[in-house]
Amino acid sequence: MLIKLLRKIFPSKNEKDLKALMPIVNQINQIYATLNKLTDAELRAKTDEFKARIKEKTKHIEDKIDELKRRVREDKELTREERLEIYDEIEKLEKELFKEEQKVLDEILPEAYAVVKETCRRLVGKSWEVTGHKIVWDMVPFDVQLMGAIVLHQGKIAEMATGEGKTLVATMPAYLNALTGRGVHIVTVNDYLALRDSQWMGKIYEFLGLSVGCIQNYMNTEQRKAQYACDITYGTNNEFGFDYLRDNMAIDPSDIVQRGHYYAIVDEVDSVLIDEARTPLIISGPVPETEHKFDWMKPKVERLVTAQINLVSKIVDEAEKLLNEGKLEEAGVLLLKASRGAPKHKKLRKILAEPEYQKLVIDTELEFLKDQGVKLRKLDEDLYFVVDEKNHIIDLTEKGREFLASLSPEDREFFVLPDLGTEISIIESDPYLTPAQKQRKKEELYRLYSERSDKVHAIQQLLRAYIMFEKDVDYIVQDGKVLIVDEFTGRVLPGRRYSEGLHQAIEAKEGVKVEQDTQTLATITIQNYFRMYKKLAGMTGTAATEAQEFWEIYKLDVVVIPTNKPCIRIDYDDVIYRTKREKYNAVIDEIERMHKIGRPVLVGTTSVEVSELLSRMLKRRGIPHNVLNAKHHQREAEIVANAGLRGMVTIATNMAGRGTDIKLGPGVAELGGLHVIGTERHEARRIDLQLRGRAGRQGDPGSSRFFLSLEDDLLRLFGSERIANIMQRLGYKEGEPIQHPMVTKSVERAQKKVEQNNFAIRKRLLEYDDVLNKQREVIYSLRRHALMGERLEDDLLDMLTDYVEDVVERYYSNLDLQGLRDEIMRTLLIDLKITPDEFEKLGREGLKEKIYNEALEFYNRKKEQLGEELMFALMKMSMLQVIDQRWQEHLREMDELREGIHLRAYAQKDPLVEYKTEAFEMFMEMMRRIRSGVLSLVFRMFPVMPEEIQERKPRRPRREQLNLVHQESIGMGLRVAAAEADIATAVKQDVKLKPIKVDRKVGRNDPCPCGSGKKYKHCHGKI
C-alpha cells in the first residue's frame, strides 16, 4: 500500500515523459479533425508550405554559409590563417543551422503529423503490391502511435510492444525531418524488411510529394547514389555502414553515394545497437599467401582433447563410485576437477543434474578458493588444460604442455617464450658484439619469439574451437564453409568471421578449407557509425532492460509507450526440470495438449540443434509443424505470418521472423489465442520478452511459458546454486518439475548478472575502438578534403610546417647539417645552401623559417610553371595515394597490436592503457610518413603531359577482390586467452618498397632480404 501511495505522489520518469506528450497528441488530433475538408492536391501542397516555412526561418544562416564558402573559393587575396578562420566559422554556423531547423520542426510537428494521419485515412481501402504480394491499406495512427512518433522526433527510443505498429509510427518523424531536404535513413534488420517497409509505407510519402528509396545488397554505385538522393531511404545497418566505408575509399567524388548523416530511425534498435554493435564492419582485401599453423597443430590438439576426455571419464567414474560409497567429500573434489576439465561431459552433467551433487561441487569450489586459489591450482595439475566457461578461457597446464611437446620431438622447446626485455638487455650490454652483430642477434630473437608465439596462438584457438564452439549451435557447415549462427536471432551470418584466427581454427577442426588471411582496408564498429548522426532515434519492443547502456553509449533516452489495448496475455511461471531430457518431453506434451485443443503454438529455441531435436520428437508423435531456423531462413516471413492459424505448430530459433506480425486465424481467439513456449532462458531478458511478445498483440488473448532444466547453460553457469538449494530443500523427485514465482525471480537475477557482464564487455570494446575511431576521423577528414578538392593547399602547407618542424628537431640537436641537407634534397628537391656557421647562428626557429620560406618559394614557382589546375590535380593524386597506402599499413599494424595486447595484463599492466599509448605512437609515425610521402610526390614529381596526371588514379584492389565482413569480436583485451605477447615494434624507416626476387621462400617472420632490418611481413611481405 505504501509503495502504491508513494508512486502516486512521486510519478516515475516515464510517467512524466508520457504526461508531457499528451498536449501535443491533443493538438495533432484537433488539426487532423479540420483536414478532411482539403482536396488531395491541397493536402499535398502542405509539404511545400512546410518546406517554405523551414527555408524562411533558416535562410539568414544558409546565406551566411554560402557567402563564406564563396569567399574561400574566389578570394585569392585571403591568407592561410584567414581561410582557416572562415572554415571554423562555417562549422559553427552549420551547428547553429541544425539547431534552428530543429526548432522550426518542433513548431511544425503537430500540423505535419496530422497531415500524415489524414493521408493514412485517405489511403484506407486502397491496395498495392508489396514484395510481390497485394496488400489492402487499413491503418490510421492511434494516439499511442502518435506518442511514439513524437518520441522518435525528439531523438529518443520508443519502446512499443510487438504488434503496436512501429513501422507506421516511423513514417511521421521520417516525413517531418525529410522536409529539411537533408535525407532521413530508416534502418531495418534485414534486406527483406527494408524492401517491404519502403514499398508498404512508401505510398504515404509519395502521396505527400516526397521520394522514397531502398538500399539492397546487389545494387551498384549508381543505383545506390539514386536511392540516397531520395528524401527517405530504407536499408540495413550493414549496407549503411559499408557504404560509409566505401565512400571513404572512393577515388573520384562521383563515386560517393551517401549525402551525410543527418537523422536515422533504427527499427529493432536493441538488435542493431546492442547485439550487432559488439562486432566491427570490415572491408578487407587480399594479402600475399601466408603460412598458418592450424593444419599442422590440429592432429596434436585432437590427441590432447581426446586424452583430456578419457582422463575426465576416469575421474567421473571414480567420483560416481565414491558417491555410491557415501564418501561425499572425496567425490566432491573429483567432480570439481572433472567440471574444470570438461564441463560439458555427458556423464558429469547427468550426475550434476541432482541438486545435492550440484551443491556439493559449488561448496567444494568455495573451499578450494579460500587460500587465493592455491589449492585449486594444485587440483588443476592433474588435468591437461583447464576450462573456464564463464570467461571463455582455456589454460594449458604444465602436464598439457609436456604432452604436446612430446608430440613434437623436433621442437620440444616451442612453449618456452624468451623474455624479450631481459634478452635484449643482455645483447645490448655485451661489449664483444659489434652493432651489426647485436642487430642480427635481436632479429634472431624476434624471429624465434614470433614463431613460437604463432604456434602457441594456434594451439590456443584450436582448443577453443574444439571445447567451446559446437557445430549446429554456434556455427553450421554449408557448402564447405563455416558459417556463424547469430546467438540472438538464430540466423546464419554469411560473410561474418570470428577474429584472431578462431575462424580458421574452426575450419581446421571441421576439415574444410582454411581460408587465406586478408588485410583490413577500412573498418568501423556499428556503435561509432551510428554516433556520427546528428540525431538518432530508435524503436523496439524491448529496450527498458538495456536503458542504461543506450544512455551511456549513445545518449539515447528510453520512453515506454503504453499499448493501444490492454495486454491480456497470461505469462505463466517458469517450469524447471532436472535434466534436458525431462524438459523436452514436457515441451512435447504441452505442444500435443495445445494442438488437440486447436490452439496455435510458437516454440522458441536457442539453437538449430534443439529445433531439429524437437522436430524429430514431434514427427514421432505425428504432429504436423513448421521448422524455422538458420538453415531455412529464406521462408521465415511467410512461416511466421501463418503461425497464428488454428492448429499450427511453429518451431523457431529465438527471434527468427522478427518484424513480421503473427495475426490470429478465425476462431483462434475463442480457444485462448497463440501459446508461446520457450525451451530455454536466454542470457538477455529482452530476447525472452520478445518471444513472449509474439502472443497477445493488440489485446488478443494468448499465453506463454518457459521450460528450463538445471543442465541449461544459464542455470548451470550462473543460477544453479540457489535453485538447486530450493529443489533439495523441497525434496523434488526425478521427472517432477518445480514451478514457483521465487524460481522465476532467481532466473531473472541470473540473467541480470550476465547482462551486466556483457555490457561491461561491450563498453570495454568501445573504449578500444574509440582509439581507432579518433584516428579514423582525422584520416577520413584529410582524405575527404583531398577528394573534394577543398583545403588542398592549406592541408599541404600544414604538412610542410609539421615536416619542417620535425626534420629540424631531428637533425639540429646532433648539429648534423649534412644529414639535414640530404633529407631536404631527398624529400623537397631543395638544395639548402647554408654554411656550418649560419646553421648554428640561425638556431632552431630561424632554420625552420628559412627552410619553410624556401620550400614555399619553390612550391609557388612550380605552381606557376604547371598551372593551378595541374598542380591541384598533382596534390590530389599524391594525397589520395599516400593516405590510402599508409592508412592500410596502419590498420594492419593495429590488428597485430590488438591481437596480443591482452597479454600485458600478466605483467600487471592495463591492456587498454598500453594499447592507447602504442596506438598513439603508431599513429604519429604514420602521420609523419604521410607528410613526407605527400611532400615528396608534390615537390619532386614533374608531369610530362597534363592528361596523364588528370587520368592517373591511386591503385586499389578491384571491387571483386574486396571482402565485406561484419566480424565477430573476441579478445580485444576482454577475454584473456594465454597466447602470444606482442613483439616490440621495430623503428620504422621510410624505405620505398620495391618487388625483390629471392632464391628460396621467405618466411613471414624471417628478416627481409632487402636488408632493411625489418621482418619480411612488415616490409616486402606487405606488397
- C-alpha cell recorded at residue 541: 519492443
- Angle, nearest 10°, between helix axes 294-324 and 398-406? 130
User: How many CB atoms neighbour CB 910 within 10 A?
Assistant: 11
Q: With the CA atoms of 322, 328, 330 and 336 taken in that order, what torsion angle do they form, in degrees rounded to the nearest 10?
A: 100
165 is in an annotated binding site: yes
- C-alpha cell recorded at residue 402: 609436456
Rounded CA separation 735/756 (Å): 33
39 is in an annotated binding site: no
Q: How many residues belong to the chain?
A: 1023
DSSP 610-655: HHHHHHHHHHHHT---EEESTTSGGGHHHHHHTTTSTT-EEEEETT
Rounded CA separation 246/243 (Å): 5
513 CB burial (10 A radius; 0-12, 13-18, 19+): exposed
User: How many CB atoms neighbour CB 896 within 10 A?
Assistant: 15
166 is in an annotated binding site: yes
Rounded CA separation 287/888 (Å): 12
User: How many CB atoms neighbour CB 732 within 10 A?
Assistant: 16
Q: How close are the terminal C-alpha atoms of the chain, in Å?
A: 74
Specify the residue for cell string 577442426. Answer: 509
Among the listed residues 426, 373, 410, 370, the one whose alpha carbon sits nearest the alpha carbon of residue 395: 373
472 CB burial (10 A radius; 0-12, 13-18, 19+): middle
At 937, phi and psi to the nearest 5?
-65, -45
Rounded CA separation 244/257 (Å): 8
641 CB burial (10 A radius; 0-12, 13-18, 19+): middle
- If DSSP codes are grouped into helix, strand and coil, which group holds residue 604? strand
Rounded CA separation 873/884 (Å): 17
HEC readout, 742-796:
HHHHHHHHHHHHHHHHHHHHHHHHHHHHHHHHHHHHHHHHHHHHHHHCCCHHHHH
Chain centroid to Cα 188, Å, comes to: 15
Rounded CA separation 1023/1019 (Å): 8
145 is in an annotated binding site: yes
52 CB burial (10 A radius; 0-12, 13-18, 19+): exposed
163 is in an annotated binding site: yes
Amino acid at residue number 491: R
661 is in an annotated binding site: yes
Please state the residue numbers annotated as binding site. 145, 163-167, 661
Please state the residue numbers annotated as binding site for ATP. 145, 163-167, 661
